[in-house]
């Protein structure tokens, strides 16, 4: 997207002269929404990011926290979207999204150990949406598998709004010793080395492309980057070897905005200038200087060695057979200069490049929003039918067709893979039995109805999923996906999402240590895709052998922790009935915190066989999921959930937050009850597990009886597996 | 008594190999022998008592999985090692390399449905012999995860080749369309063994979610014992 007239005038005024073509391209890339966060910077400051264990907060390529007080290991992580590229070329778009986030984690010197993905896909009945979904998953699979970083957890959503424009958010976590973290500080005289892929014409102006609505035509294919996972794997190994040998003072991904952005942001962060010679860079094809500056060819990194370490660094690159070029050096004078064949083509003050004029963004709540809660009633006789329909919804049904394409086990660290528990648990074998848990969540139905509450619930749900496995949630990173910031009614959703996220982060005492903003998720016809905030939460585990999964043993008591309220606004049940309306369920951070504490004791003392949170689809969906994936029956009584004002379908399908289902060995029940009382957590006896029937009762009346085999079949086979076989 | 030498296992690393760290860890912790990651250019078979070619995508799996690695200098060392009776285990991509090298018969091709599959599977160990399976019982069923896109084993006469050899068979479901459900195969002495499932991901209890069991331990316990006491 070209600079706005105001921006251009501002640049000319500051410089006191006209800009060269190359300078325009640099500003266009760096002043794009994608690189500069010009519409979001101010708002993002609302997010609390401090905690005693935060080692690197927002501002660098990734964040870092210390996991345990007594060990010097840090967890490095980030999440990022690759929405626009994935809409145009889903395979390469999603694949390079993985590549980029892994390099971000690598930029701090960490070894990437796990990936998570949040996919917002279209309706499986729509053939274009199906093609996009298939190719996105294949792209993540091919790239992730080949670089040897397991995809351990994810979140998948389906809705018509994403038929043409899916959202692809990918997160990565890595580990490093505290003293391995690359400082990221450069000094005048330090060389600028670019290592990795030869630069070509792919991904030209990718950032400015991602900073405007998609158009109908095909001209955007040129902006798509193409990935080379083999080279990425070599880069990971080479950079890690250099880090372990303490050779590097700075590493940065050449991501959005390409070479120009990486050099300028590095210089800005250290308060220096930089001079580069564009003709020194290794190229794949003949390029114009302007193309060299902003190409977004993948698998490239800017590295700055420590003094006297250059030879050793080059020996490592040679060992792995990776190309590199020394293209310039940092300077005292705070200017960014680029030469091409002896000619000065760019001379811009760093300050100007990294500080675009802040655009004025108006925010206006859409009128008559949200639609009111419809008046619904479902006869009890329909219970069995509704339950089966609910668990066959693509939002609830098994995501096996996705996660079995991902190598979730490479690294040998995966304790709880996808399909086994609410969050992934990763074993840190270098620390005995300790580990880390991670999960990503986001519900666009909630954020669309009420962006403030919806964004809050994204963090709350990811937080819950992390504590349900027995981990202690420590920090979050967010990915806000919204529409066109130039339109007040779309900007309102963005602005309210950030505020809601900031509120819940304070309530839950979870610092938001980094994130990504994706704006302009809007079609050529001006329709905003359903806005959503994706949140990735990480937590620590002291003993991974005590992790709680959700597979039932079939010989326990079913217990519900937490109260139920009639909260069907924005629920899966409403959607099933064809309605969109009401308010999303109320956030309940105080109870979540108590539950978090309680679940850690439950795990530690082995008081439960299985644990699963209640989310989309409510209590029934939660238990049906446990039944389907363990092949074990369950009997529950809806009148025992303790909601007097609830009608039967509210007790069954309400999406009230802060609830967890446990399968408890009967001999441990008393101990659990005592513990729950002590922690002020409401506890209800729902029923028991075992047999081969999923039975739902209200008191003595049986309202639904479904064979486990049928639950399994509907959960596993009627949704995506069936649809994916179509083409 | 002579000097006691701790047996040493090389875990070979090609560009693109990605399972070397967990494999070395399992050898050290479970086999209780020395193990090192050895960069392919530095590999000399005479320095080692056994070799493991771990999983991953050597050379990006360009051409065909395992193909380019099988042309490397390290592979000539592997052939010599095999001639000299050094135990060699190929896991996943390592199995593909052994097949490409001709150290094991047959071929490994793209999964029958063209899709990468990562999941827990059950396999049966048939006719166990050799250093990698000394602790296995004939017909023993174990669980391990698979994760591959090119694991479909093919041989025109599968039933002939398994007569003499130890071999590993998928039970319940055949995830990739392998002929005779072959998940792994040894040389007739069992000194060379290749398999698609990942024993290093099922070697410790914490790697195993309920209801599975740690079926990979067997391989590491076996080689540890074999290297100390012979086979």
Give the model's confidence band at A137: pLDDT under 50 very low, under 70 low, under 90 confident, else very high. very high
Q: Is A147 on the interface with B (CB under 8 A)?
A: yes
pLDDT value at position B59?
87
Strand partners, A640: none
A56-60 contact pairs (CB < 8 A, 24+)? A56/A108, A56/A181, A56/A513, A57/A511, A57/A513, A57/A514, A58/A512, A58/A513, A58/A514, A58/A515, A59/A269, A60/A107, A60/A108, A60/A184, A60/A269
Does pLDDT of A538 surpass 50?
Answer: yes
pLDDT value at position A205?
61
Mean predicted confidence (pLDDT) in A416-443:
98
pLDDT value at position A204?
67
Helices (H), A16-125: 21-30, 33-36, 41-44, 83-88, 90-107
Closest residue by Cα to residue B146 from B184, B105, B104: B184
Does pLDDT of A216 surpass 70?
Answer: no
B interface mutation test: which of A133, A134, A139, A145 has the most B CBs within 10 A?
A: A145
> Which sequence positions of A are flagged as catalytic?
34, 82
Q: What is the spatial distance between Cα A366 and Cα A479, in angstroms, rounded to a whole number?
A: 23
Asked if B116 and A141 come within 8 Å (Cβ–Cβ), the reply is yes
* Residues in chain A within 8 Å Cβ distance of B143: none
Q: What is the spatial distance between Cα B43 and Cα B49, in angstroms, rounded to a whole number?
A: 13
Does pLDDT of A534 surpass 50?
Answer: yes
Q: What is the spatial distance between Cα A77 and Cα A220, in angstroms, rounded to a whole number?
A: 30
CA A60 to chain centre: 17
Question: A347 with A377, same domain?
Answer: no
Q: What is the spatial distance between Cα B208 and Cα A407, in angstroms, rounded to a whole number?
A: 15
* Residues in chain B within 8 Å Cβ distance of A146: 16, 57, 60-61
pLDDT value at position A722?
62
Q: Are A38 and A30 in contact (CB under 8 A)?
A: no
pLDDT value at position A284?
93
* H or E element in which residue A111 lies: strand A111-121
Give B32's DSSP letter. -
To the query of whether residue B198 is one of the catalytic residues in this protein, the response is yes
- pLDDT tens for A106-130 read 999 999 999 999 999 999 999 999 9
Nearest to B200 among A403, A412, A415 (CB): A412
Q: What is the spatial distance between Cα B117 and Cα A409, in angstroms, rounded to a whole number?
A: 11
Q: Looking at the domain assignment, is residue A146 inside a domain?
A: no
Give the model's confidence band at A721: pLDDT under 50 very low, under 70 low, under 90 confident, else very high. low
Looking from the CA of A149 toward its CB, the CA atoms found within 13 Å total 34
* Residues in chain B within 8 Å Cβ distance of A626: none
Q: Looking at the domain assignment, is residue A118 inside a domain?
A: no
Question: A373 with A346, same domain?
Answer: no
Q: How far is A120 from chain B (nearest CA, A)?
A: 22
Does pLDDT of A727 surpass 60?
Answer: no
Asked if B207 and A412 come within 8 Å (Cβ–Cβ), the reply is yes
Q: How far is A201 from chain B (nearest CA, A)?
A: 23
Does pLDDT of A517 surpass 90?
Answer: yes
- pLDDT tens for A430-475 read 999 999 999 999 999 999 999 999 999 999 999 999 999 999 999 9
Does pLDDT of A32 surpass 50?
Answer: yes
Closest residue by Cα to residue A101 from A242, A236, A223: A236
Question: A578 with A682, same domain?
Answer: yes
Nearest to A320 among B15, B19, B210 (CB): B15
Nearest to A427 among B55, B115, B206 (CB): B206
Closest B-chain CA to A134? B115
Q: What is the spatial distance between Cα A43 and Cα A696, in angstroms, rounded to a whole number?
A: 47
Asked if B25 and A429 come within 8 Å (Cβ–Cβ), the reply is yes
B interface mutation test: which of A321, A408, A409 has the most B CBs within 10 A?
A: A409
Q: How far is A111 from chain B (nearest CA, A)?
A: 12
Question: A632 with A707, same domain?
Answer: yes
Residue entry with tokens 């709350």: A460
The CA distances from residue A60 to A81, A110, B132, in Å, are 16, 13, 47
Our count of domains for chain B comes to: 1
Our count of domains for chain A comes to: 2
Asked if A420 and B210 come within 8 Å (Cβ–Cβ), the reply is yes
Mean predicted confidence (pLDDT) in A297-311:
96
pLDDT value at position A201?
87
pLDDT value at position B60?
85
CA A612 to chain centre: 21
Question: A336 with A375, same domain?
Answer: no
- pLDDT tens for A337-394 read 999 999 999 999 999 999 999 998 999 999 999 999 999 999 999 999 999 999 999 9
* Residues in chain B within 8 Å Cβ distance of A319: 39
Kindly state the tokens that stand for B106. Answer: 């047959």
Chain B residues within 8 Å of chain A (Cβ atoms): 15-16, 18-19, 21-23, 25-26, 39, 55-57, 59-62, 115-119, 145, 147, 149, 198, 200-201, 203, 205-207, 209-211
CATH code of B140's domain = 3.40.50.880
Closest A-chain CA to B216? A412
CATH code of A645's domain = 3.90.650.10
Q: How far is B59 from chain A (nearest CA, A)?
A: 7
Closest B-chain CA to A434? B206
Q: Are B197 and B90 in contact (CB under 8 A)?
A: no
Q: Looking at the domain assignment, is residue B79 inside a domain?
A: yes
Give the model's confidence band at A426: pLDDT under 50 very low, under 70 low, under 90 confident, else very high. very high
Query: What's the count of helices (H) and strands (E) in chain B, helices before strands?
Result: 5, 11
Question: Cα dihedral angle (B5, B205, A73, A51), rounded to 10 degrees?
Answer: -170
Question: A346 with A209, same domain?
Answer: yes
Mean predicted confidence (pLDDT) in A233-245:
97
Q: What is the spatial distance between Cα B135 and Cα B131, in angstroms, rounded to a whole number?
A: 9
Q: What percent of chain A has pLDDT over 70?
A: 95
User: Exactly one of B92, B148, B150, B191 is catalytic; which is it?
Assistant: B92
Q: What is the spatial distance between Cα A437 and Cα A466, in angstroms, rounded to a whole number?
A: 6
pLDDT value at position A255?
87
Question: A295 with A370, same domain?
Answer: no
> Domain span at residue B175?
8-229
Q: Are A531 and A521 in contact (CB under 8 A)?
A: yes
Q: Looking at the domain assignment, is residue A659 inside a domain?
A: yes
pLDDT value at position B2?
45
Kindly state the tokens that stand for A3. Answer: 């600079």
pLDDT value at position A717?
83
Closest residue by Cα to residue A258 from A535, A482, A426, A25: A25
Question: A580 with A685, same domain?
Answer: yes
A interface mutation test: which of B27, B67, B68, B116 has the most A CBs within 10 A?
A: B116
Q: Are A209 and A83 in contact (CB under 8 A)?
A: no
Query: What's the count of helices (H) and strands (E) in chain A, helices before strands?
Result: 25, 26
Q: What residues contact residue A258 under an 8 Å CB cut-off, 6+ apart? A: A29, A203, A293, A294, A295, A296, A297
Q: Are A643 and A566 in contact (CB under 8 A)?
A: yes
Q: What is the spatial distance between Cα B208 and Cα B196, in angstroms, rounded to a whole number?
A: 18
* Residues in chain B within 8 Å Cβ distance of A542: none
Does pLDDT of A224 surpass 80?
Answer: no
Q: Is A433 on the interface with B (CB under 8 A)?
A: yes
Question: A267 with A370, same domain?
Answer: no
Q: What is the spatial distance between Cα B69 and Cα B65, in angstroms, rounded to a whole number?
A: 9
Q: Looking at the domain assignment, is residue A525 inside a domain?
A: no
Question: A310 with A393, same domain?
Answer: no
CA A474 to chain centre: 16
Q: What is the CA radius of gyration of chain B?
A: 16
Q: What percent of chain A has pLDDT over 90?
A: 91
Q: Looking at the domain assignment, is residue B3 inside a domain?
A: no
Q: Looking at the domain assignment, is residue A209 inside a domain?
A: yes
> Domain span at residue A230?
1-31+182-356
Asked if B16 and A429 come within 8 Å (Cβ–Cβ), the reply is no
- pLDDT tens for A628-658 read 999 999 999 999 999 999 999 999 999 999 9
Q: Treating both helix axes as pointing N-terminal to C-terminal, what angle do A127-147 and A229-244 enclose, rounded to 10 degrees?
A: 40
Q: Are A716 and A404 in contact (CB under 8 A)?
A: no
Question: A223 with A368, same domain?
Answer: no
pLDDT value at position B67?
86
Q: Looking at the domain assignment, is residue A37 inside a domain?
A: no
pLDDT value at position B61?
83
* Residues in chain B within 8 Å Cβ distance of A407: 116, 118, 147
Looking from the CA of A380 toward its CB, the CA atoms found within 13 Å total 10
Looking from the CA of B213 toward its CB, the CA atoms found within 13 Å total 8
Query: Which residue numbers in chain B have pLDDT < 70?
Result: 1-4
Helices (H), A37-126: 41-44, 83-88, 90-107
Q: Looking at the domain assignment, is residue A627 inside a domain?
A: yes
Q: What is the spatial distance between Cα A421 and Cα A464, in angstroms, rounded to a whole number?
A: 12
Q: Is A236 on the interface with B (CB under 8 A)?
A: no
Q: How far is A638 from chain B (nearest CA, A)?
A: 28
When the pLDDT of each residue in chain B is averaged and rounded to a whole number, the result is 95
Does pLDDT of A219 surpass 60?
Answer: no
Q: How many CB atoms lie within 10 A of CB A642?
A: 15
* Residues in chain A within 8 Å Cβ distance of B25: 412, 429
Asked if B198 and A321 come within 8 Å (Cβ–Cβ), the reply is no
User: Considering Cα of A65, then A68, then A74, then A77, what sign does the dihedral take?
Assistant: negative
CA B118 to chain centre: 17
Does pLDDT of A726 surpass 60?
Answer: no
Asked if B21 and A145 come within 8 Å (Cβ–Cβ), the reply is no
Asked if A147 and B18 come within 8 Å (Cβ–Cβ), the reply is yes
Q: Looking at the domain assignment, is residue A100 inside a domain?
A: no
Q: Is A551 on the interface with B (CB under 8 A)?
A: yes
Q: What is the spatial distance between Cα A290 and Cα A295, in angstroms, rounded to a whole number?
A: 8
Question: A208 with A324, same domain?
Answer: yes
The CA distances from residue A298 to A199, A429, B54, in Å, are 8, 32, 27
Q: Which phi and psi (to 5°) does residue A604 adopt?
A: -55, -45
What is the secondary structure of A549-595 as a DSSP string? -----SSSEEEEES------TT-HHHHHTT---SPPPPP-HHHHHHH
pLDDT value at position B1?
42
When the pLDDT of each residue in chain A is averaged and rounded to a whole number, the result is 95
Q: Which phi and psi (to 5°) does residue B39 adopt?
A: -65, 135
Kindly state the tokens that stand for A692. Answer: 């081969």
Q: Looking at the domain assignment, is residue B2 inside a domain?
A: no
Q: What is the spatial distance between Cα A166 and Cα A519, in angstroms, rounded to a whole number?
A: 13
- pLDDT tens for A677-697 read 999 999 999 999 999 999 999
Nearest to B118 among A228, A234, A404 (CB): A404
Q: What is the CA radius of gyration of chain A?
A: 26
Q: Is A233 on the interface with B (CB under 8 A)?
A: yes
Q: Looking at the domain assignment, is residue B1 inside a domain?
A: no
Q: Looking at the domain assignment, is residue B177 inside a domain?
A: yes
């Amino acid at each position: 997207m070209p600079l706005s007239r105001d921006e251009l005038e501002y640049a000319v005024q500051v410089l006191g002269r006209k800009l060269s073509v190359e300078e325009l391209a640099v500003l266009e890339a760096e002043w794009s929404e994608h690189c500069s966060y010009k519409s979001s910077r101010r708002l993002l400051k609302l997010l609390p990011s401090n905690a005693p264990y935060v080692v690197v907060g927002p501002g660098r390529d990734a964040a870092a926290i210390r996991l345990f007080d007594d060990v010097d290991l840090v967890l490095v992580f980030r999440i990022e979207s690759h929405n626009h590229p994935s809409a145009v070329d889903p395979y390469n778009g999603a694949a390079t999204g993985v590549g980029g986030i892994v390099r971000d984690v690598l930029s701090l010197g960490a070894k990437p150990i796990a990936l998570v993905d949040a996919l917002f896909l279209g309706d499986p009945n729509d053939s274009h949406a199906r093609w996009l979904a298939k190719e996105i998953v294949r792209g993540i699979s091919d790239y992730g598998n080949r670089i040897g970083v397991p995809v351990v957890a994810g979140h998948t959503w389906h809705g018509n709004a994403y038929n043409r424009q899916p959202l692809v958010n990918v997160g990565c976590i890595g580990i490093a010793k505290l003293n391995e973290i690359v400082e990221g500080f450069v000094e005048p005289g330090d060389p600028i080395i670019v290592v990795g892929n030869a630069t070509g014409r792919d991904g030209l102006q990718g950032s400015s492309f991602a900073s405007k609505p998609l158009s109908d035509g095909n001209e955007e294919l040129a902006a798509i980057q193409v990935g080379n996972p083999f080279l990425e794997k070599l880069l990971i190994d080479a950079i890690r070897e250099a880090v372990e040998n303490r050779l590097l003072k700075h590493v940065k991904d050449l991501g959005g905005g390409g070479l120009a952005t990486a050099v300028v942001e590095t210089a800005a962060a250290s308060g220096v200038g930089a001079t580069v010679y564009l003709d020194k860079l290794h190229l794949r094809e003949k390029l114009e200087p302007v193309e060299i500056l902003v190409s977004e060819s993948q698998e490239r990194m800017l590295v700055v060695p420590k003094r006297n370490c250059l030879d050793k660094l080059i020996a490592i690159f040679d060992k792995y057979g990776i190309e590199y070029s020394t293209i310039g050096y940092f300077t005292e004078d705070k200017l960014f200069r680029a030469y091409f064949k002896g000619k000065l083509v760019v001379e811009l003050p760093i300050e100007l490049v990294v500080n675009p004029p802040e655009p004025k963004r108006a925010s206006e709540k859409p009128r008559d929003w949200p639609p009111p809660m419809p008046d619904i009633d479902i006869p009890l006789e329909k219970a069995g039918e509704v339950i089966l329909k609910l668990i066959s919804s693509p939002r609830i049904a098994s995501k096996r067709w996705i996660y079995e394409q991902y190598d979730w086990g490479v690294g040998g660290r995966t304790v709880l893979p996808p399909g086994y528990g609410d969050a992934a648990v990763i074993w840190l074998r270098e620390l005995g039995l300790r580990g880390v848990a991670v999960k990503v969540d986001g519900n666009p139905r909630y954020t669309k109805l009420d962006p403030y509450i919806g964004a809050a619930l994204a963090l709350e749900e990811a937080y819950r999923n992390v504590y349900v496995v027995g981990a202690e949630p420590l920090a979050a990173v967010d990915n806000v996906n919204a529409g066109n910031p130039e339109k007040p009614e779309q900007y309102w959703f963005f602005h309210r999402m950030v505020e809601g996220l900031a509120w819940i982060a304070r309530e839950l005492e979870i610092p938001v240590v980094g994130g990504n903003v994706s704006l302009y998720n809007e079609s050529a016809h001006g329709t905003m895709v359903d806005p959503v905030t994706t949140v990735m939460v990480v937590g620590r585990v002291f003993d991974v052998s005590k992790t709680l999964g959700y597979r039932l043993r079939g010989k326990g008591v079913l217990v519900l922790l937490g109260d139920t309220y009639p909260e069907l606004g924005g629920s899966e049940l409403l959607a099933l009935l064809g309605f969109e309306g009401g308010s999303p369920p109320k956030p309940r951070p105080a109870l979540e915190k108590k539950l978090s504490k309680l679940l850690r004791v439950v795990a530690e003392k082995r008081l439960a066989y299985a644990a699963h949170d209640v989310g989309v689809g409510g209590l029934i969906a939660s238990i049906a999921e446990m039944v389907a994936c363990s092949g074990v029956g369950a009997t529950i009584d809806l009148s025992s959930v303790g909601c007097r004002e609830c009608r039967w379908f509210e007790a069954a399908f309400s999406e009230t937050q802060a609830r967890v289902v446990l399968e408890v060995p009967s001999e441990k029940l008393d101990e659990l009850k005592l513990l729950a009382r002590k922690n002020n957590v409401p506890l209800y006896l729902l029923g028991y597990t075992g047999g081969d029937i999923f039975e739902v009762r209200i008191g003595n009346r049986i309202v639904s009886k479904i064979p486990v085999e049928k639950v399994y079949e509907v959960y596993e086979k009627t949704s995506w597996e069936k649809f994916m076989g179509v083409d | 008594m002579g000097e006691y030498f701790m047996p040493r296992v090389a875990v070979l690393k090609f560009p693109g190999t990605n399972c070397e760290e967990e494999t070395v860890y399992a050898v050290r912790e479970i086999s209780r022998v020395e193990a090192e990651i050895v960069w392919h250019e530095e590999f000399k078979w005479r320095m080692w008592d056994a070799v493991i070619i771990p999983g991953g995508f050597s050379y990006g799996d360009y051409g065909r999985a395992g193909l380019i690695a099988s042309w490397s200098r390290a592979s000539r060392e592997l052939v010599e090692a095999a001639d000299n009776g050094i135990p060699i285990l190929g896991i996943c991509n390592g199995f593909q390399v052994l097949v490409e090298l001709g150290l094991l018969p047959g071929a490994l091709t793209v999964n029958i449905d063209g899709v990468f599959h990562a999941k827990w599977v059950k396999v049966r160990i048939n006719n166990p012999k050799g250093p990698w399976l000394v602790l296995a019982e004939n017909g023993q069923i174990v669980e391990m995860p698979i994760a591959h896109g090119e694991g479909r084993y093919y041989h025109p006469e599968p039933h002939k080749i398994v007569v003499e050899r130890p071999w590993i068979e998928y039970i319940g479901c055949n995830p990739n369309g392998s002929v005779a459900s072959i998940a792994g195969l040894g040389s007739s002495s069992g000194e060379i063994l290749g398999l698609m499932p990942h024993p290093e991901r099922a070697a410790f209890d914490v790697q195993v979610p309920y209801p599975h069991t740690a079926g990979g331990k067997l391989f590491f316990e076996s080689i540890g014992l074999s290297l100390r006491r012979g086979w």
